[in-house]
Amino acid sequence: MLSGTPEWLAAEARRLKNETVLNLALAEMKRDAMERLTSADPDDKTAIMAAQADYRAANELPTVLERFIIAGTPMSEEDESTGPTSVA
């Protein structure tokens, strides 16, 4: 369960999203996972699935942070009439 207000989560998510060390670590995780995928024995489904899961986790974290940012950012009055916009 998450603790803190949506505004606090949004502020922390913004901070983390722009954190250089975190972004470098995520990029390293992705590179490592791709190396393991390209060198894995095609019959070793466990190793393949583990590398895929690691890549997906590193890839998904920025998306989750963006969701926290959107959820904790008040919409302007004109945006309230049209609802939330999608994030690409």
DSSP state letters, 53-69: HHHHHHHHHHHHHHHHH
Rounded Cα distance between 16 and 18, Å, is: 5
Two tokens at 10? 């949004």
- Answer yes or no: is 43 within a domain: yes
- Answer yes or no: is 80 within a domain: no
- What's the predicted TM-score (pTM) here? 0.72
State the total domains in the chain. 1
What does the pLDDT profile of the chain (88 residues) look like in tens digits? 567 889 999 999 999 999 999 999 999 999 999 999 999 999 999 999 999 999 999 999 999 999 999 999 877 533 444 444 444 4
- Quote the domain boundaries for residue 12: 6-72
Find the helix or strand (DSSP H, E) in which 20 lies. Answer: helix 20-39
What does the pLDDT read at residue 1? 52
- Answer yes or no: is 61 within a domain: yes
